[in-house]
Amino acid sequence: MVLKSIPIIRNPHWILLNRNCLNLNKRYLASDAKSKSNDQTNISVDVSQKQKIYITDPISPGSIFFLPNGTKVFNKLVQFIKLQTTQLFGFKEVITPLIYKKSLWETSGHWQNYQDDMFQVAVNDESKEIYGLKPMNCPGHCVIYKRFDRSYNELPLRFADFSPLHRNEASGALSGLTRLRKFHQDDGHIFCTPEQVYQEIQNCLKLIDLCYTKIFKFTNTDESTTEPYFLKLSTRPEDHYIGDIKVWDHAETILKNVLEESGKNWELNPGDGAFYGPKIDIMVNDHNNKSHQVATIQLDFQLPERFDLKFKDKDNYYKRPIMIHRAAFGSVERFMSILLDSNNGNWPFWLNPKQVIILPINTKKEDHVNESFKLKNFLSNNNQTTDNDIQPIPLNSFHFEAHVDDRSEPLGYRIKDAILNKYSYLIIIGDEEVKTNKYSIRTYNDRNIEHLTSAEIFDKFKTLEENYK
């Protein structure tokens, strides 16, 4: 990156600041470049420690303690994918139990084919039946589907679920955010007619394209392709599968035809399908060119059969729906790990848990500090006047992560700290800002300065969030 010359600006404090911080920017950019080229295998852990994203503890192996910063990122990701799935693709969100009786898992086939990867739970009830923590949401969605009489008019019926899942992974396989025992998935299940399958799978691919080509553009280190992701068709396992081979062959043919007509590059991954059906796996590469599965689309003729799911068709005969399992992120935790690996902690504004920091030039001057907190409250959209008249925060309003650094440290020190903490924007408040109500604002990696009112800054941030920038 080429450092730009110091611009002519009205605030003399910024001239001094830019001169003093010139060497800081050079050292920071050189350090950043070195960090990006460093061949580490666990960038996400390193960034997490610096930015306080999450911790793990032996008291709960394979589970994540998300810290406040990590929780903000996690919630933004879930909020994003909820909006896309419900508003663009017609999913209805449901919330399902975490534990079910063994009899449900026997019906679904999990007990026979997935028991070793499940946590069993002893419950004090009269039946003494064993319960299992859910590793997947699909059986619960089948229970919801079956509870009501279904007509062809309701199909396709799409359920979305963000409940936590638990899988009893071997302790030696556990790794950071990528391999966990407790995780969240942007899970979705579609119940549809045979005629609707092709279009529904196409829609799933459109959602994946939206995520991985328009919003989350991962660094592609594979020089053989410019595609941000690649596809694998995973077929029937050699053992541990349910259903008839002819049905499996039919399902695999459907997925193969969809991939052929999509025009996207894909490869065959024999024997790696789920035990109930073949799947399309969406893969991305990390900085070491190691591939990771993120999204998945699975075609399932088995669970509707095992749960005896039906719908009344136009001819008044009951018929069997087909089930499609899909996730755009896959494990949200694993997706976060790949994001951390890709951006090295340089979050886009809309995801950054540290969006803007406000720095009063002289922390001993009351008007500098008061103006800083006034701007913070405005950007946070939290303008409560008195403790005795608290008003509810409106739904669907913008609230930016604004912080004030009013420590009794030199301004240059606080600027350096803000840059190293990768705040998206830095705002300086001095005499001129207090007088004119126009604030000097810059990004953490660009020394160019704008002078904006509080309303203009709010609108700028609003535009960034609305466009996922």
Return the active site residues: 138, 167, 185, 187, 189, 279, 325
Residue 200 is which amino acid? Answer: E
Please name the helix (run of DSSP H) or strand (run of DSSP E) that holds residue 283, with its range, or none. Answer: strand 279-285
Question: 37 to each of 34, 40, 46, 111, how far by Cα in Å?
Answer: 5, 9, 14, 46
Going 240 to 246 to 250 to 253, the CA torsion angle's sign is positive
Would you tell me the crossing angle of helices 411-420 and 12-20 to the nearest 10 degrees?
60
> How far is 439 from 432, CA to CA, in rounded Å?
8
Residue 276 is which amino acid? Answer: Y
Is the separation of the CB atoms in 420 and 51 below 8 Å? no
> How far is 64 from 176, CA to CA, in rounded Å?
8
Is the separation of the CB atoms in 358 and 414 below 8 Å? no
Q: Give the total residue count for the chain.
A: 469
> How far is 100 from 92, CA to CA, in rounded Å?
22
368: which DSSP letter? Answer: H
> How far is 324 from 141, CA to CA, in rounded Å?
12
Is the separation of the CB atoms in 53 and 39 below 8 Å? no
394: which DSSP letter? Answer: P
Is the separation of the CB atoms in 257 and 283 below 8 Å? no
Under DSSP, is residue 383 helix (H, G, I), strand (E, B) or coil? coil
Smallest CA-to-CA distance from 457 within 426, 434, 417, 414 is with: 426
b/e per residue 239-250 (b: at least 16 CB within 10 A): eebbbeeeebee
4: which DSSP letter? Answer: P
> How far is 226 from 222, CA to CA, in rounded Å?
8
Under DSSP, is residue 202 helix (H, G, I), strand (E, B) or coil? helix
- Cβ neighbours around 204 below 10 Å, total: 25
Is the separation of the CB atoms in 104 and 131 below 8 Å? no
